[in-house]
Amino acid sequence: MTPRTVITLVLGLWLVIGIIVVGYPLRSGRIRVGLEPVYRDSAPRAFWTAYLVSSVLFALVSVAAGLLLRAILH
């Protein structure tokens, strides 16, 4: 596999995971916090806090994975 192919596959996988992590809670109006779901309509502050934490963690893991991939491929 060429590095370009690996990067394309990883980017595609990251995009699918990103859509799930970022998009699904917005569409469904609920997000899991531990074992319990939090609903946007009944607890908006808790929902948006959990959504923010989830999005920031996803971004940080994405940056770390990108740096690791860059180090491996270069």
Whether residue 45 is predicted with pLDDT greater than 80 in this model: the reply is yes
What is the band of 30 on the pLDDT scale with cuts at 50, 70, 90?
A: very high
What is the band of 73 on the pLDDT scale with cuts at 50, 70, 90?
A: confident
Instruction: Name the one residue in this structure whose structure tokens are 């923010």.
Output: 52
pLDDT value of residue 13: 92
Instruction: Give percent of the chain with pLDDT exceeding 70.
Output: 100
pLDDT value of residue 1: 80
Question: What is the total count of domains within the chain?
Answer: 1
Whether residue 47 is predicted with pLDDT greater than 90 in this model: the reply is yes
pTM: 0.79
Domain ranges, residue 51? 3-73
Exposure on the CB side of residue 1, measured as CA atoms within 13 A = 9
